[in-house]
Amino acid sequence: MVRKENLFIENNEIKLEAEYYESSSKKDIAIIICHPHPQFLGV
């Protein structure tokens, strides 16, 4: 089943806002994308 979900990832006491898309076919590999500095560029 193809799906995109909004979720929070826990890092100790911190919760990280995230969006995850799960492939319908290639379930064994994933990409992580890291954004620019929020005080320098829009995120």
Give the interface with another protein as residue ranges (CB under 8 A).
Answer: 2, 4, 8-38, 40-43
- Cα of 8 vs its chain's centroid, Å: 9
- Nearest approach, Cβ of 15 to another protein (angstroms)? 5
- Nearest approach, Cβ of 39 to another protein (angstroms)? 8
Q: Please name which of 32, 35, 34 lies closest in space to residue 20, comparing C-alpha atoms.
A: 32
- Nearest approach, Cβ of 13 to another protein (angstroms)? 8
In whole angstroms, how large is the CA radius of gyration of the chain?
13
